Amino acid sequence: MCKALSERLGLPVTYLNDGNAAALWGHFTIFGTSPRETSISAIIGTGLGGGVIIGGQDLKGRGGFGGELGHVLIPYQSIRGVEGMVPQCNCGRVGDLESVCSLTAIGKTFLPYFLPKYPDHELGKMDIPAAAKLVRGMAEKGDPLCREIFRVQAHALGLFFDEMINTFDPDALMVGGGAIETSQEFQKWFLQEIRNGMPPQREEQAGIPIHIMPNGDTAGARGAAIEALRIARQNGRL
């Protein structure tokens, strides 16, 4: 597609998925155009996107599937309070990051799992898809069931970031997406719960920062612009 469009336009064309593009923006806001640092971003939306930035660029891989972080398996069974839960992802896997950390996971797995434990809960009287959309706001207000869902999601991210730390030894980790478009207080709590969910780190890596992705929904568009600029420069267009 890129090649055909490029021939048609007579301009270089590049492609990133939305998660990869947002990861590039997040990286840029911290490290600018420096090629030295590595960062890993997880974007929690309907699914889970993200990216790995190395050398100032998205890791794309052989066929462009690099940085498909949502389908990386995590040892979710080690999270407290989810005994017997079977988180199924739309990709067919059980227990990958998206199967636990996404809006889809809230409707598909968490509400059916937790609602029977809270028999009088108001979300139990609603359609699951409608109820799923209310979980974030109710978690922010301190509802115990909804907080518990977000705690499990944060701990899942902690397990995932631990895998990334041991694979890439990154300079920064980032979390973005609709799930954390909340008050600063809730964001702070969520980041602390990610840390609480991480296995102990070696001393040298314990201080790797976890940031909130800035600019919400527009992070992907901003990252795409940065990628376009890079490709244009590379091709002597700027």
| Residue ranges in contact with Zn ion by CB under 5 A | 71, 89, 91, 93, 96, 98
Cβ at position 226, least distance to Zn ion in Å: 27
Cβ at position 97, least distance to Zn ion in Å: 8
d(CA 165, CA 201): 9
d(CA 177, CA 47): 10
- Closer residue to Zn ion in complex, CB, 98/162: 98
In the bound state, the residue with its beta carbon closest to Zn ion is 89
- Closer residue to Zn ion in complex, CB, 91/206: 91
Whether 166 and 208 have beta carbons less than 8 Å apart is answered as no
Structure tokens at 60: 């794309």
- CA-based nearest residue to 231, from 68, 58, 65, 66: 58
Looking only at Cα atoms, what is the longest distance across the chain?
64
List, in order, residues 6 or more apart from 46 with CB less than 8 Å away: 102, 103, 104
SS3 87: coil
Cβ at position 48, least distance to Zn ion in Å: 8
- Closer residue to Zn ion in complex, CB, 96/143: 96
Cβ at position 87, least distance to Zn ion in Å: 10
- Closer residue to Zn ion in complex, CB, 96/227: 96
- Closer residue to Zn ion in complex, CB, 146/164: 164
Cβ at position 92, least distance to Zn ion in Å: 7
